[in-house]
Amino acid sequence: MNLIVFGTRPEAIKMAPLVLEFAKETSCVTKVCVTAQHREMLDQVLDFFEIIPDYDLNVMKPNQNLYSLTATIIENMKAVLEDAKPDFVYVHGDTTTSMAVGIAAFYYGAKVCHVEAGLRTFDRKYPFPEEFNRQLTGKIADYHFAPTPVSKQNLLQENVRDINILVTGNTVIDALLLGVKKVNQESFKDSEIDHLKGIVDFSKKIILVTGHRRENHGEGLIKICTALKKLALDYKGIQIIYPVHLNPNVEGPVNELLSGIKNIILVKPLAYAAFLWLMEKAYFIITDSGGIQEEAPSLGKPVLVTRDTTERPEAIDAGTVCLVGTNTNVILKESKKLLDDSAYYQSKSILHNPYGDGKSAQRIVNFIKEL
């Protein structure tokens, strides 16, 4: 019996292909549990992929803290595990949900399967607390589904046995391909996309922005917003679209610093369909998101990453991703290069797929079936 557990928007996007792949298997029972570490942003993804969870812990509290979130998840998972009686529990990546569910599954005695295993910055404070969460989940896990050879290598260096690691590609690409196919269907109607068509001038160059990392809260976010403001004022012919994360530590300052600027459009987090549609329309992207760094190469979109380090070196090597940190001048300089120098822009917008071929979930299911 399989139990797939996730709690935030990116985990939901990246676990949805696995849920759908296991649903095709008649030989085993698979159940889905959501912690709902995120509520609205998780539900947007569940709706898009038409997933109805078997268990919903509904743990999200406004402006929640890591202590109570971790404790509540571990505490609440006991009843779920005792009811579902899983042989295998699947967790994803590096969130508090992944780490806490991993611990609970270990206590229960299930085999822990870590999807998107082996990403590392090797600095436990960056990103915080994600690097520590994934290292800990890696210690707990019995099976490690590494997205790339680099992530497998990281695990081998930590003495994980080769036989317990499978390089799968990243399920984010499975989700992306499923998503793009759905969005491009003629019958597909989406009120958010219709709304965007009404408020955005798509004849202009679109810069898409997101951000939420804890270590950027406060000063970092202020410096990023200052760069966006200057860019918008210097380049009247661009439109900056910023779907603002619901974390109050992000929503508050961003609304305060960037409201009322004519060519900056602030919107609520977009459902996956509208976000994919907008990514395809973007000229380039400024973000600190992990998932967007992985999606952008497949769409050929340059990305300025507002972080000093990344656990995703593959897209830097391929040229799509450029680390700019949170320094206002560096963000401005790199943005202007992309806007002003078309040869440079072309060199950064080459389509490539370092993160997978859309068959990652299938590989995971086959691996488990063969155990």
Contacts to ligand UDP by CB under 6 A: 9-10, 13, 210, 212, 243, 269-270, 272, 275, 289-292, 295
Contacts of 11 (CB under 8 A, 6+ apart): 92, 93, 95, 97, 98
In whole angstroms, give the CA distance from residue 154 to residue 159. Answer: 9
Q: Does residue number 95 form part of the binding site for ligand UD1 (CB under 6 A)?
A: yes
Closest to 267 (Cα-Cα) out of 306, 291, 240: 240
For 52: left if phi > 0, alpha if psi spans -120 to 50, otherwise beta; the answer is beta
Task: Name the amino acid, one letter, at 136.
Answer: L
Known active-site residue 114: no
Known active-site residue 130: yes
Of the residues 38, 144, 213, 245, which is catalytic? Answer: 245
Partner interacting with residue 149 (select from ligand UDP, ligand UD1, none; CB below 5-8 Å by kind): none
Q: Does residue number 37 form part of the binding site for ligand UD1 (CB under 6 A)?
A: yes
Query: Residue 334 phi/psi, 5° resolution?
Result: -70, -35
Partner interacting with residue 291 (select from ligand UDP, ligand UD1, none; CB below 5-8 Å by kind): ligand UDP
Q: Does residue number 41 form part of the binding site for ligand UD1 (CB under 6 A)?
A: yes
Least spacing, CB of residue 302 vs ligand UDP, in Å: 16
Span 59-78, contacts to ligand UD1 by CB under 6 A: 60-64, 69
In whole angstroms, give the CA distance from residue 252 to residue 240. Answer: 18
Are the C-beta atoms of residues 138 and 174 closer than 8 Å to each other? no
Span 189-228, contacts to ligand UD1 by CB under 6 A: 212
- What's the gap between Cα 98 and its chain centre? 13
Q: Does residue number 248 form part of the binding site for ligand UD1 (CB under 6 A)?
A: yes
Q: Does residue number 15 form part of the binding site for ligand UD1 (CB under 6 A)?
A: no
Of the residues 11, 21, 116, 311, which is catalytic? Answer: 116
Partner interacting with residue 171 (select from ligand UD1, ligand UDP, none; CB below 5-8 Å by kind): none
Closer to ligand UD1 at the Cβ: 156 or 323?
323
Task: Name the amino acid, one letter, at 144.
Answer: H
Partner interacting with residue 40 (select from ligand UD1, ligand UDP, none; CB below 5-8 Å by kind): ligand UD1
Of the residues 21, 130, 131, 314, which is catalytic? Answer: 130
Least spacing, CB of residue 69 vs ligand UD1, in Å: 6
Known active-site residue 144: no
Task: Name the amino acid, one letter, at 6.
Answer: F
Q: Does residue number 171 form part of the binding site for ligand UD1 (CB under 6 A)?
A: no
Strand partners, 208: 241, 285
In whole angstroms, give the CA distance from residue 260 to residue 62. Answer: 26
Q: Does residue number 320 form part of the binding site for ligand UD1 (CB under 6 A)?
A: no
Which regions of 236-366 does DSSP assign to beta strands (E)? 238-243, 264-267, 284-287, 303-305, 321-323
Closest to 8 (Cα-Cα) out of 32, 34, 47: 34
Query: Exposed (0-12), middle (13-18) or buried (19+): which is 182, by Cβ within 10 Å?
Result: middle
Record the tokens describing residue 165, joined without a space. 């690691």
Partner interacting with residue 13 (select from ligand UD1, ligand UDP, none; CB below 5-8 Å by kind): ligand UDP
Known active-site residue 50: no
Least spacing, CB of residue 245 vs ligand UDP, in Å: 6
Binding site for ligand UD1 (CB under 6 A): 8-10, 37-41, 60-64, 69, 94-96, 129-130, 212, 246-248
Active-site amino acid positions: 94, 116, 130, 212, 214, 245
